[in-house]
Chain A
Amino acid sequence: DAKTTQPPSMDCAEGRAANLPCNHSTISGNEYVYWYRQIHSQGPQYIIHGLKNNETNEMASLIITEDRKSSTLILPHATLRDTAVYYCIVRGLMDSNYQLIWGAGTKLIIKP
């Protein structure tokens, strides 16, 4: 089972920042937080991942709380093309599982 909980859906206005929350209250010290998204009928797309420091790349920023029990994915200037299901996934550095374990994700709808 997925180790994370996310709201099932969110709306955001085009051009505004989209903030997607994720709870991972049972995360352990060697587990990373990964974010992927899936635009309708396409393959999942890697966005970003982090351990405890905040991370930023060309797609998004990842803010992880100090206790690491939750995180927020930030899309700074959302566009209509960012409409997708966003998945927060926790994986351990020493996990013997090669697989990604997917939850239901958050369906983000960007509105014009």
Chain B
Amino acid sequence: EPEVTQTPSHQVTQMGQEVILRCVPISNHLYFYWYRQILGQKVEFLVSFYNNEISEKSEIFDDQFSVERPDGSNFTLKIRSTKLEDSAMYFCASSYRPFAGLNNEQFFGPGTRLTVL
């Protein structure tokens, strides 16, 4: 069964450093998402991406964050200058369609645990 994969599984970085989190969405999916979950808290939406453009972003997704689909398979989240409060699990997801209805379930990867020291 096709699945979303993410690398690395755990990333440790120093405050102020740049990190890139990588995701390979399901191959025929067209919509891509990043969510994060701070330990013990709710899952929070960061950004959605379609046709090489951001389609929606949350207040969390400020100028320190960027997303890119550098080739036909990878989808990346870059944090330019990490802060302590960026420590969280970051989940990538993909779907064939957006919104609600048929064939638009979002499938999630296993996550990358980001620890900022």
Contact = CB atoms under 8 A, between A and B. Distances in A.
- B is a partner of A: yes
Interface of A: 30-32, 34, 38, 41-46, 49, 87, 91-104
Given A98-B31, A98-B55, A100-B45, A44 B91 contact: yes
**Lowest 9 A-B CB distances belong to which pairs?**
A43-B108, A99-B45, A98-B48, A91-B100, A102-B43, A32-B100, A46-B105, A98-B56, A44-B108
Interface residues of B, number: 27
Contact of A99 (B33, B42, B101): B33
B111 A42 contact: yes
Q: Is the interface of A mostly helix, strand, loop or mixed?
A: loop
Given A44-B43, A99-B48, A49 B105 contact: yes
B99 A92 contact: yes
B107 A42 contact: no
Contacts of B106: 46, 100
Interface string B37-55: 0000011110010100001
Nearest to B111: A43
B65 to A, nearest CB: 15
Contacts of B91: 43-44
Interface string B47-73: 010100001101000000000000000
Contacts of B108: 43-46
Contact of A93 (B42, B45, B100): B100
Given A44-B91, A102-B42, A93 B110 contact: no
A53 B25 CA distance: 30
A97 to B, nearest CB: 7
